[in-house]
Amino acid sequence: MEQFQIETAQNITINQNTSHLGERMLAYIIDTFIIVVYTILMFVFLASLDIDMGDQWAFYLILSLPAFLYYLLFETLMDGKTIGKGAMNLRVVKLDGSKPNFGNYFVRWALRIIDVGITSGGAAVLTILVRGKGQRIGDIAAGTTVISEKKRVSLKDTLLRELPDDYKPTFPQVTVFKDQEMRTIKELYDKARLNGNHNVIVSLDKRIKEVLGVQTTLKPMEFVDVIINDYNYYTQKM
């Protein structure tokens, strides 16, 4: 799982996990299955109607619109997700950290004709593998990518962190915090990084500085990260 960095207007660097190609393919299979089932049910419904062929075509054009616009509708209404992407914990986001708008989703949808239609998915797979950042042609044009929101469980998901032997703490004041308080700080910080919630990190930065009575030139994300590491350093030495 590759990572890419987002530099926000608040000078906060967010690491995002791009989705695996396999995850995107599974999401595509799920979405395709839903579209196929809908199309079959639509034909069964039309066949049950006692109407002439001309009227059937009119009904077909109307009823086929949801399938035709499936990706555009779901990604727009479900904040960057389709049913398949939701099942795989994937989401469409912009590379600059902001929320995609209808125009971004429309460009991605329109270029599916090249990515998936004309080339049977070959162009999408090749571009994702070569380009990096999980982008197919539609993503490159729209300035978007698809990230994985799956939480990777590791030692950093607990309060304890592994520190290098030569680690030098910066803020000895961190010992005023209790374990539960630091655990809450770390959980909020990790969740904010995962979801790209810059405001939470800025709020943590401000509140910690107020409690400790310190000033620093570190960026909010760097500062909170150092605070967590320093707390681990001092508590592990006790």
pLDDT in tens, 162-192: 788 788 899 999 989 888 888 889 888 888 8
For 160, phi and psi rounded to 5 degrees? -70, 135
Tell me the two tokens of residue 89: 């914990």
Total domain count, the chain: 2
> Looking at the structure, do residues 124 and 179 belong to the same domain, yes or no?
no
Span 108-143, pLDDT tens digits: 999 999 988 888 888 888 888 887 678 899 999 999
All residues at 6 or more sequence positions from 222 whose CB lies less than 8 Å from its CB, including other chains: none
> Looking at the structure, do residues 207 and 104 belong to the same domain, yes or no?
no
Distance from the Cα of residue 60 to its chain's centroid: 35
Amino acid (1-letter code) at residue 212: L
Question: For residue 227, what are the domain limits?
Answer: 155-237
**Measured distance CA(217)–CA(69) in Å, rounded:** 49
Q: Which of 95, 129, 148 is the last residue of a domain?
A: 148
> Looking at the structure, do residues 61 and 97 belong to the same domain, yes or no?
yes
Residue scoring higher pLDDT (120 or 221): 221
> Looking at the structure, do residues 160 and 144 belong to the same domain, yes or no?
no
pLDDT-derived band of residue 151, with 50, 70 and 90 as boundaries?
low
**Measured distance CA(1)–CA(3) in Å, rounded:** 7
When mean pLDDT is compared over 99-108, 119-128, 141-150, 194-203, the highest value belongs to 99-108
Strand partners, 121: none
Q: Helix, strand, or coil here: 188? A: helix
